[in-house]
Structure 1
Amino acid sequence: MYLFRLAMASLANRRFTALLTAFAIALSVCLLLAVERVRTEARASFASTISGTDLIVGARSGSVNLLLYSVFRIGNATNNIRWDSFEHFASNPKVKWAIPISLGDSHRGYRVMGTTDAYFQHYQYGHQQSLQLAVGRAFASDPFEVVLGAEVADTLHYKLGDQLVLAHGVAAISLVKHDDKPFTVVGILKRTGTPVDRTLHISLGGMEAIHIDWHNGVPARGDGRISADQARNMDLTPQAITAFMLGLNSKISTFALQREINEFRGEPMLAILPGVALQELWSLMGTAEKALFVVSLFVVLTGLIGMLTAILTSLNERRREMAILRSVGARPWHIATLLVLEAFALALTGVLAGLGLLYLGIALAQGYVQSNYGLYLPLSWPSQYEWTLLGGILIAALLMGSVPAWRAYRQSLADGLSIRL
C-alpha cells in the first residue's frame, strides 16, 4: 500500500505530464468503445430492419438489390411485377398474408411507397414489433391520403391535415410534380429506427391515381389531364407493383414456396429470405467494419506508447530520486514495482476518464444519432466484450510499464548518485 501511495505522490509531483498522458489514453479508450458501441448497435439495427417476413419477392435480379430497394428504399427495381402474379401467390394456401409494394416517386428527397392496409397490420421490425401510429390513422378509402414516417414528419415539420405534393422520380429536386393531385396527411407513425421512418406511405390506389393520366413517363396535356375528383371515381387497381412480402402459415413451407416462385413460368421473379440477404449484405461491409475497429485499436496503442515514452523520458531525471529511495532501504524490486504502479495508475485513470467521456458523449448525441441515423445508443453498462477490451488495455499498460521498471531495476545505487557530464 505504501508503494501505491508513493506512486500517487510521484505522479502528483509531475501532475501536468501525468494528466496529459491520462487524457490521451482517455480519448483513445473513448474512441475504441464508441466504435465498438456503434458497430454493435449498427449490426443489431441492421438485422432488425425487418422481422416476421418469410419471403420478399421482386423481379429477377440480385438478392442484395432486391433487399435494398424493397426494405431500405435504396436504388430501383430492374423491372416490375404484374398484379395478377401477386394475386396468384397471395392466394396460395401456404401464404398467411401478403404486402404489395409500389415504389417510384418521392417527396423532397424521401421515398414514397404505395401499399395496402396489410402493411400496417403485418409489417414488423426489431423483435417482432408492429408498426404503431403516433397520431392519426392509416389511409382509408380516399386515394389521396398519406401516412408519414417519423423522420419525414419531424424534418419537414408536417402535422395532421397538412397537404403535400409528390414528385415524379426519386431525385432530391424534381422538376416534374404531381401538383394537380395533392395528398393529405392523415397519420404519422411512431419512430422505429428503420427506413420506415424515412418513407411516405400511400395506398396503391393513390399511386395509380397520380399516374393515371401519364403516358410513357410523361404527363398528359390539356384535355388529357384527369383531375383528383375524376380519379377518385375510376378503377384504381394497379397493373403492376415493384415487389411484395409474404408471411407463411408454416415456416416449413418457406423453401418450397421460394422454389415455386423462382420457377414461376408466368414471369421471371426472385424470392429471397430476408435474414439470409441481410447477412449477405452485412458481410459486404464487414471489411470496413473490421478496419475501423483495427484503427481504433492502434489509437489506443498510440496512447499507451505515449505513456511509455513519458515514463522512460522521466527516468533519467529521476535517477537521484531512485538513488535516495535505494539509500533509505528500498530494494530494486520496490523501484520496479513503483514504476509499474505508476503506469497502471495512468492507464486506470485513462480508462475511467474514457468511460466518462463515452457516456457523456452518448448522453449528448443520443437523440441526434437516433433521429438522423436510426441508431439507438443505450446508456448501459459495458458489455462483457467491452470489459474484456478494457482489461486488455490495463494488461497492455502493465506490460509497457515493465519496460521502464526493468531499466530502473538494473540501475545501481552508485549510478544513481554519480553525475554524468
Structure 2
Amino acid sequence: MHLLRLALASLANRRFTVLLTVFAVALSVTLLLAVERIRSEARVSFASTISGTDLVVGARSGPVNLLLYSVFRIGNATSNIRWDSFLHYAEHPRVSWAIPLSLGDSHRGYRVLGTNQVYFEHYHYGHGQPLRLAEGRAFADDPFEVVLGAEVAQALHYRLGEHIVLAHGVATVSLVQHDDKPFTVVGVLARTGTPVDRTLHISLAGMEAIHIDWHSGMPAQGTARISADESRRRDLTPKAITAFLLGLDSKIATFTLQREINDYQGEPLLAILPGVALQELWSLMGTAEKALFVVSLFVVLTGLIGMLTAILASLNERRREMAILRSVGARPWHIAGLLIFESTFLALAGVSFGLALLYFGIVIARGYLQANYGLYLPLAWPNLHEWILLGGILLAALLMGCLPAWRAYRQSLADGLSIRL
C-alpha cells in the first residue's frame, strides 16, 4: 500500500509527462478496439447485405462471381438466362416468391437494375429489414419510371419528377445513351447501407423498352427508331434476364431445389446459397482484415514503447530519489516494485481512458456509420475477445515495466548518493 501511494505521488510530481504517456496509450487502445468493433460489425453487415433469400440463380459460372454481380452490382454475368427458365422456377410448387434481376445499363457510374414489384415486397437486408421508400412510390404501369437508391439521389441531387437518361453499359462515361426514352423519378428508397443505395431501379418492361429497337447489343441501323410512346404499346415481356432470387416455402427444400436447378436440362444454371457464398467471398478478403488487425497491434506496441521510453528517460533524473529511498530502509525489490507499479498504472489509466474515448466516439459516429455504411456499432461492454486484448496490453505493460525496474534494482546506494547534480 505504501508503494502504491508512493508511486502515485511520484507520477503526480511528473504529471505533464504522465498525461502525455497516458494519452498516447489511450489513443492506441482506442484505435485497436475501434478496428476490432468495425471488423466484427463489417463482417455482420457484409453477411447481412441480403437477408431472407434462399437461393440466388444465374448463368453457370462461379459462386463468387454470381454473388458479386447479382447482389453487389460488381462485374458482369457471363451470359443471360431465358425468361421461360425464370418462369419455370417462379411457378415451382416449393417457391414462395421469385425476384427477376436484369442488369447491363447504368447512369453516371451507378448501376441500373430491372426488376418487378416483388423486389420491393420481398427483398430484405440486415436482420430481415424490408426496403422502405423515403419519398414517392415504387414504379407502376408506366415502363419509364425509376426508383433511386438513397446514395444515387443524394450524390446526383435528384428530386421526384426529374427526368433522367440511362446509358448502355456500365462504364462511368458511356458513348451510347438511351436519350430518346427518358425516365421519370417517382421514388427514393430509404438508406440501407447496402448496394441498393447505389442502384437505380426500373421495371423489366422499362429495361425491355429502351432496348426494343436494338439488335445484337447495338442500336438498329438503317431503320426508324421506336419512340417511347410507341414502345409503350408494344409487348414488353423480357426475353432474357441476368439472374433471379428465390424464397422458398420451407428451408428444408433448399438443397433439393438447388440440386434441381444445377441439373436443369433447359440451359446451364447455377444456384447458390447466399450465406455460403458470402462467407467464401469474405474469406478472400481475410488477408486485408488480418493486416488491419496487425497494424493496430503495432500501434498499441508503439504506445507501450513510448511509455517505456518515458520511464527509462526519467531514471537518471530519479537516481537520487531512489538512493534516498534506499537510505531510509527501502530494499532493492521495493524500488523495482515502485517502477512496476508506475508502468502498470500508466497502462491501466491508458486502457481506461481509451475505453472512454471509444464509447464517446461510438456515441458520436454510430448514427453516421449506420446511415451511410450500414454499420451498427452497439454501445455494449467489451466482449471476451476484447477483454483478452486489454488483458494482453496490461500484461505487456507489466513486462515492459520490468526493464526499468531491473535497472533501478541494480543501482547501488553509493552510486545514488554520490551522483553530481
Bin for the TM-score computed over the shorter chain:
over 0.9
Extract unaligned runs of 5+ from structure 1: none
Cα distance in 1 for partners of 2:174, 2:366 equals 33
Q: Which runs of 5+ in 2 are unaligned?
A: none
For the residue of structure 2 that corresponds to 1:134, the secondary structure is strand
Q: What residue is the counterpart of 2:7 in the other structure? A: 7
| Residue 233 of structure 2 corresponds to residue 233 of structure 1 | yes
Aligned counterpart, 1:38: 38
Question: Corresponding residue for 1:394?
Answer: 394
Check the 8 A contact 1:58/1:271 in 2, yes or no: yes
1:204 alignment partner in structure 2 = 204
Shift of 1:266: 0.9
Name 1:168's counterpart in structure 2. 168
Q: How many angstroms apart in 1 are the aligned matches of 2:4 and 2:293?
A: 34
1:348 corresponds to which letter in structure 2? L
Distance in 1 between residues matched to 2:367 and 2:231, nearest whole Å: 42
Contact kept, 8 Å, 1:25 with 1:351, in 2: the verdict is: yes
Tell me which residue corresponds to 1:417. 417
- The code of the aligned residue for 1:166 comes to L
For 1:413, the aligned partner's letter is L
In the TM superposition, what whole-angstrom CA distance separates every residue of 1:165-216 from its partner, at most 9, and x where no partner exists?
1111111121211111111111111111111111111110000001111122
Following superposition, the deviation at residue 116 of structure 1 comes to 0.7
Q: How does 1:59-208 map to 2 (within 5 A)?
A: 59-208=59-208
Counterpart amino acid of 1:225? R
Shift of 1:83: 0.3
TM-score (norm 2): 0.94
Aligned equivalents of 1:176 and 1:12: distance in 2? 72
| 1:387 CA displacement | 2.8
Q: CA separation in 2, counterparts of 1:14 and 1:46? A: 47
Alpha-carbon offset, residue 334 of structure 1: 2.7
Q: Which residue of 1 aligns with 2:304?
A: 304
- Distance in 1, matches of 2:222 and 2:161, equals 30
Aligned length: 421
- Contact 2:192–2:371 (8 Å) recurs in 1: no
2 CA distance for matches of 1:219 and 1:372? 38
Matches within 5 A, 1:333-372: 333-363=333-363, 365-366=365-366, 369-370=369-370, 372=372
Taking structure 1 as the reference length, the TM-score comes to 0.94
- Sequence identity, in percent? 80
Given that residues 52 and 247 in structure 1 are in contact (C-alpha distance below 8 angstroms), is that contact kept between their aligned partners in structure 2? yes
The worse-fitting range, judged by mean Cα deviation, of 401-410 and 79-88 is 401-410
Distance 1:46 1:37 in 2: 14
Q: Which amino acid aligns with 1:398?
A: L
Query: Deviation string for 1:256-281 (max 9, x for gaps)?
Result: 11111111111111010111101110
Aligned residue in 1 for 2:20: 20
User: Which position in structure 2 is the counterpart of 1:279?
Assistant: 279
Aligned 8 A contact 1:151 1:371 in 2:
no
**Are the aligned partners of 1:149 and 1:200 in contact in 2 as well (CA < 8 Å)?**
yes
Match of 1:252 in 2: 252
Cα deviation for residue 254 of structure 1 reads 1.1
On the 8 A contact 1:193/1:376 being kept in 2, the answer is no
SS at match of 1:201: strand
What code does the residue aligned with 1:243 have?
Answer: A
Task: Please report the RMSD computed on the Cα atoms of aligned residues, expressed in angstroms.
Answer: 2.0
Q: 1:52 corresponds to which residue?
A: 52
> What is the Cα deviation at residue 235 of structure 1?
0.5
CA deviation after TM superposition for structure 1 residue 369, in Å: 4.2
* Secondary structure of the corresponding residue to residue 224 of structure 1: coil
In 2: Cα distance, 1:174 partner to 1:355 partner? 49
